[in-house]
Amino acid sequence: MITMLETAERLKQGLTTPGELIGVALAAARDSEHVFIAVLDQRAIDEAKASTERWFRGAPLSPFDGIPYAAKDLLDIAGSRTTAGSITRINAPIALEDAVVIGALASQGMIPVGKTNLTEFAYSGLGLNPHFGTPTADIQLREVRVPGGSSAGSAIAVQRGIVTSAIGTDTAGSIRIPAAFNGLVGYKASTGRYSMAGVHPLAITLDSLGSFAHTVADCVAFDAAMRGLKEAVIQSASLCGLRFVIDDGVMSDSALQPAVRENLLSMMALLGAAGAHVERRPIASVARTRELIARTGWLGAIEAWRLLGEVVEGPQGLRMDRRVHARLLSAKNIDAAAEAIIRSLRLELMSAMERELEGAIMVMPTVKHVAPPMTPLENDDELFAAVNLETLSLTMIGSLLDMPGVAIPSGKDSVGLATSILFSTTRGHDDQLLSACLAIETALNVRK
C-alpha cells in the first residue's frame, strides 16, 4: 500500500499529479459502500487543478500539496454539513468555514475528498451505524467484522487505500480502536495539541484529534500538516535510549486473547533485542484508573449527556440508533457528585502516572481482542453493550488521563485478524512519543 510520504516523493519527481491522485481517490470513494457520508467532488477537483498548476510552476505550498485525505464527519468543511453520523442532523446548517485543522491542511495544499462515516454522535467503540451503513474492511473472512469506532469510516478509508491518511477524533478510544482492528497506525493526540474549533464536541474535557495511516512516519508528517507546518520537525529517537514499561496488571487480565498477548510480548522482545530497555511491572495508576471508571462512572458519559440530553429526550430521540440512545440515557442517572470525585481523582492520577513512568513509555494492548463478528452485535443489544465496554476498557485509561497514544500493529491471530500495541506517554509529551514510535517502526522494519 503506497504511503503519504511515498506519494509526496512521486509528486516531487513528476511521476503523478494532484489531478490524477484526486481522480483515483474520488472514484474509489464513490465505489466504497458506507465509508463516506459525503464525497466532496467539486471542491476536490477544483483544488486539485490549482495544486497541479502550482507544481507545474515549481511553487507547491508544501511537499504534500495535492495529496488527498479524508476527515471524520465531526469536522466542519465549508460547503458541507456536519452530521456527526446522526439522522437527527441530516438537515444541519451548511458549514460556512473550515475547522481550524482543515484550514491548516489547506495551507499545505492537502485536499479533503470526503467526510467519513462514524458511530452516531461518536458514541461507541464498535463503529456500527444504522443510518448511513457500517463501513467494513476489504479483507476476505468467513464472518464480517466490525470496523471499530467511532472513527470507522476514516480507518476504513485508509485501510482500503482510498487515501493515505485520515483525520479521526478520540474521546475514549475512537482512533486507537479502529486502527487496532484494521492493522493501521492510529495516533491520538493530547487534548491541547490541535485547535478543536469547528469540531462537533462529544465530551469537551476528553475530546482529541489525531490520524490514521499505514506508518508512523506518515502520522508524523500528517501531524505537522495538521498544525500548518510544511515539514515534520520530529526526528526518530535512538532506540537504545528508550525505556518501555509493559503493564503487568493488564497483561494478566483473563479477557486478553492469547494472540494479543503473545504478539505484544514477541514485538517487545524484538525491541529489547534491538537495544531498548523493556521492563514488566504493575503500574498502580493504571489499576486505580480502571477502578475509578468501574466504580464511579465515565466522565465522557457525563459530559455527553450534558451536550446531547435534549436530543435524546426530545422528539428526535427515537430516531437515534437505539444502542446509542440507550447508552446516553443511562448516563443521565450517574450521580451528580460523581463528576466532582472523578475530576479530583483524575488530576491526582495524572500526577501519579508522571511519577510512576519517570519518562518511560507505557505499553499495553490497544484492545484485548481482535475485531469481533458484526452480525451478532447488530442483533443482540445486550451483547453489543458488553462487547463495546470491553473494547473501550483499555483505551479509556489514556483518555481519562489525557495521555497521547499511538496504536501500532503487532501481528495477526490464527485467522488473519490484526492485533495491536498501544504506546502512551503522559499529557503533552506527544513529540517524545512520536519520536519513540519512529524508532520502533525503524527497528521493526530492519528486523523483518
- The residues assigned a catalytic role are 72, 150, 174
Which region, left, alpha or beta, applies to residue 122 given φ > 0 means left and ψ of -120 to 50 means alpha? left
Residue in 117, 220, 166, 213 with CA at minimum distance from that of residue 433: 220
DSSP H or E segment with residue 409: strand 405-412
Matching residue, cell 497541479: 52
3-state secondary structure of 74: coil
DSSP H or E segment with residue 322: helix 322-331
Q: In 151-309, which ranges are E strands?
A: 165-170, 185-188, 208-213, 243-247, 277-281
Euclidean distance between CA atoms 271 and 267, whole angstroms: 6
Residue 243: CB atoms within 10 A of its CB come to: 14
The full 3-state SS of 347-369, as one line of letters, equals HHHHHHHHHHHCCCEEEEECCCC
